[in-house]
Structure 1
């Protein structure tokens, strides 16, 4: 499977979220390392995996997940 790897700025343009919001709010809460993004060669740079993010964005969220997030 071919993956499309995006920088934070490229992802920001695709999903219409500010890059700071992605870094400060979504990363590690909604976007998970090893699932939605990787750090190539163990470095500091983050590359987001577009196909996985796109798939999860289109998935419905269960009501129980929303309630659990509020607690």
Structure 2
């Protein structure tokens, strides 16, 4: 399945949250690395996986996302 990769700015436009809120409040508390976002090539840039973020918004926290966030 092909994934849709979004920058923080692009994600903020889709979900109507400020990009700063995404970086400071949602990342690593609701959106977890390896589940909802990746750092390609081991760099600093973050790309969000739209399908995973959308699933999280629609279904809420799952056991898998909670375990991954530990």
Same fold per superposition (TM over 0.5) = yes
- 2:39 is aligned with 1:39: yes
Question: What does residue 20 of structure 1 align with?
Answer: 20
Pick closer, same or farther for the CA change 1:37–1:61 going to 2, 3 Å: closer
Distance 1:53 1:40, change over 3 A: same
* Unpaired runs of at least 5, structure 1: 63-71
CA distance in 1, matches of 2:39, 2:61: 27
Match of 2:50? 50
What is the aligned residue count?
62
* Structure-2 separation of matches of 1:42 and 1:59: 29
Structure 2: tracts of 5 or more residues without a match: 63-70
- Aligned structure 1 segments of 4 or more residues deviating by more than 6 angstroms: none
- RMSD over aligned Cα, in angstroms? 1.4
1:8 has 2:8 as partner: yes
